Structure 1
Amino acid sequence: MSIEGVDFALRRRAEERDRISGDLLDLDSHPSYQLLEGARLTGETRRRWDEAQARAVTLWWLFDAYRGVLDRAQELRAGKPDLAALTALLTGPSVELKPENVPVEKRSLLRAAGEWITLDTVVARMDAAYRDVAAMVAAADDAWSALLPRLEQADSARRSAQDLLRDLDGGDPDLDRIGAGIDRIRAAVTADPLGSAAPGGKLGGELDGLLADLTARRGLLEQAARIRAEYGDRTRRLGARIAQVAEAENEARSIRATVLVKIASPALPALPDQSAALRNRLGALETARDRWLELVERLTELERAVDGALASARTATESMAGLIGRRDELRGRLQAYHAKVVRLGSAEDAALGELYGEARALLWTAPCDLRKATVAITAYQRAISRIGVAE
């Protein structure tokens, strides 16, 4: 090599050394690299990290050998240049890899002979080792990136739920169970991110389940906080609604009594009678005061029961009142048919008069047989049609 070629090669190698040094320092300072170094690893991550650490030791060992040759070349160039020696250092097999310099974890009891390689070969081997270590760090980083944010989300939701629980001055075994599950998954993810994030792994699905449970539990705690703030108003409203239930049940009983007098053999629904039991349940809520999580379920169930009882009483009333309505509707139809007969001059028709009288007697006699009355009106209508008095 000429002196100009030597200087160019030295500059290029110095730049290469600085770039490699920077890459190695960046790798060492990578957050996931630091986490891996400081964590108590287990499973697949431990196995691969042990391999990566061995490669990292080899990487630094090769870099030190590379740097040593380059330092010698720069010292030689600083004095009276020996172009042959400089050319040998920069282009020939100038890096000696002595068996005694091999890292302990890479040694064998069967010592191989020393090896001489070129700077380019050293760089190629460093590049391969660097890629192996960086790939392992990237895999761990990807695994942590997939799971740790969800764990942070779970922890944030848990802290929020715990704040609500403290305000309620109570305990919640379910929240404790969920928290223990999150802590266990966090420990597993921290110790073995590669195993935790492996395809088909159970931790991701388990974490999803815990997040769903936590969301539901936090919602229940929020309900409990609202109930504590609104308890007086809600129980007063419940009392008023139960009074409406009692009133609706009394109306149903009254209608039932009327139907039994006015309608023969009616098919009646069961008589609703829940207001007394609902009042007792409302009074029993006081025994659970300050146990707000328990009150969430009991108060919510009672509100549903009151709404259901009121709807049931009103439905029963409407059903029974419908029988009276049916009788009145049949009366109206009979009167309309009769008015039409009179208007068309057939009021003296004996057969029509008999049929009209029979239907009227059925409809204005208590109790009224609705089935027979319906049959009688139908017969009256057909008779009108037969003699030409169409509707």
Structure 2
Amino acid sequence: MSIEALDFALRRRAEERDRISDDLLDLDSHPAYQLLEGARLTGETRRHWDEAQARAVTLWWLFDAYRGVLDRAQKLRAGKPDLAALTGLLAGPSVELKPENVPVEKRSLLRAAGEWITLDTVVARMDAAYRDVAETVAAADTAWGALLPRLDEADAARRSAQDLLRDLDGDDPELDRIGAGIDRVRAEITADPLGSAALGGELDGLIADLTARRALLEQAARIRADYGDRARRLGDRIARVAEAENEARSIRDTVLVKIASPALPALPDQAAALRDRLGALRTARDRWLELAGRLTELEGAVDEALARARSATESMAGLLGRRDELRGRLGAYHAKVVRLGHGEDAALGELYGRARTLLWTAPCDLRQATVAVAAYQQAISRIGVAG
């Protein structure tokens, strides 16, 4: 090589050395690299990291060898240039890999001596080693990046739930279970990020459980704050349930007298049991977490009982309404017959009389009355006076 080519090669190699040095330092200081170095790894991550560390040792050894050759070349250039020696260092096989320096994965039992390689080969091997180490670091960083922030959020939510629980002066085995699960997931993801694929779903379930539990604790805190007013309102609603059930019984008695063989819904009778449940809640005061669930369940039961009583009343009242609607239709048909001069028609009179008797007889047979009114209306239609 000419002196100009040697100077160019030296500058290029020096720039290459500095760039490689920066990349190696960046890798070494990467947060995930530092975590991997400091963690007590297990499982798949431990296997990959052991391999990566071996590659990292090889990488740094190769870099030291590369730097040592370049230092010798620069010293030679600083004195009286020996073009042949410089060319040999920069372009020839100037780096000796002794058997003990050869990476395990590249050794052979038949290899008795080391090998000499060029600086380009050194760089190529460093690049391969660097990529292997960086790939492991990046995979761990991705896994940690996906789960650790969510674990931090879960821990914050857990601390908030624990603060609520302390304010309620109680304990909560379910919250303890969720917290133990979060701690276990954190330990597993910290020790084996590369084997943590299944932990995301488990963490989702724990966070959902924690969200629901925290909501229950917040509800318990609200109940403690306004328990008196809430219990009074609940008592008032139970009183309305009793009124609605009494009304349903009254309507039922009326229907049984006025409608023949009615199909009646089951008579609701929940008010007394609801009062007993409200009374039992008073014994659970100071156990606010338990009370929160029971009070909410009771409120739902009261709403359901009130709706059931009102529905039963409407259903039974509908039978009386059906009778009254048939009476109104019969009266309207008869008025039209009279207005049009057919009031003395014997056949129409007989049909009218039968329908009227059925509708004004107690108990009223709604099925037969419906048939009779329909027959009267059809007879009117046939003689052309139905309008």
TM-score in terms of structure 2 length: 0.90
- Between the aligned partners of 2:26 and 2:211, the Cα distance in structure 1 is 40
Name the structure 1 match of 2:225. Answer: 229
- Between the aligned partners of 1:191 and 1:260, the Cα distance in structure 2 is 75
User: Could you tell me which of 287, 290, 297 is aligned with 2:293?
Assistant: 297
* Structure 1 residues 90-105: aligned runs within 5 Å: 90-99=90-99
Secondary structure at 2:54's aligned position in 1?
A: helix
- Between the aligned partners of 1:151 and 1:99, the Cα distance in structure 2 is 47
Deviates more, 1:144-153 or 1:313-322: 144-153
Q: 1:361 to 1:76 in 2, by over 3 A?
A: closer
By how many angstroms is 1:352 displaced? 4.0
Name the structure 2 match of 1:327. Answer: 323
Name the structure 2 match of 1:24. Answer: 24
By how many angstroms is 1:39 displaced? 0.9
**Are positions 1:133 and 2:133 aligned together?**
yes
Residue-by-residue CA offset, 1:305-340 (whole Å, 9 max, x unaligned): 111111111122222222222222222233223323
**Are positions 1:273 and 2:264 aligned together?**
no
Q: 1:386 to 1:193 in 2, by over 3 A?
A: closer
By how many angstroms is 1:181 displaced? 1.5
Deviates more, 1:110-119 or 1:10-19: 110-119
Residue-by-residue CA offset, 1:326-357 (whole Å, 9 max, x unaligned): 22222223322332333233334444444444
Name the structure 1 match of 2:46. Answer: 46
**Are positions 1:215 and 2:216 aligned together?**
no
Name the structure 2 match of 1:37. Answer: 37
- Between the aligned partners of 1:24 and 1:63, the Cα distance in structure 2 is 9
**Are positions 1:171 and 2:171 aligned together?**
yes
**Are positions 1:360 and 2:367 aligned together?**
no
Name the structure 2 match of 1:63. Answer: 63
Name the structure 2 match of 1:86. Answer: 86
Identity of aligned residues (%): 88
- Between the aligned partners of 2:23 and 2:381, the Cα distance in structure 1 is 107
On the 8 A contact 1:54/1:106 being kept in 2, the answer is no
The amino acid of 1:89's aligned partner reads L
Q: 1:314 to 1:80 in 2, by over 3 A?
A: same
- Between the aligned partners of 2:107 and 2:30, the Cα distance in structure 1 is 28
- What is the root-mean-square deviation of aligned Cα atoms in Å? 2.6
By how many angstroms is 1:35 displaced? 0.8
Secondary structure at 2:96's aligned position in 1?
A: strand
- Between the aligned partners of 1:375 and 1:76, the Cα distance in structure 2 is 123
The amino acid of 1:347's aligned partner reads G
By how many angstroms is 1:63 displaced? 1.6
Residue-by-residue CA offset, 1:13-60 (whole Å, 9 max, x unaligned): 222222222221111111111111111111121111111111111111
Where structure 2 has 5 or more consecutive residues not aligned to the other structure, the ranges are none
The amino acid of 1:203's aligned partner reads L
The amino acid of 2:264's aligned partner reads L
The amino acid of 1:84's aligned partner reads A
The aligned length equals 387
TM-score in terms of structure 1 length: 0.89
The amino acid of 1:94's aligned partner reads S
- Between the aligned partners of 2:354 and 2:259, the Cα distance in structure 1 is 17
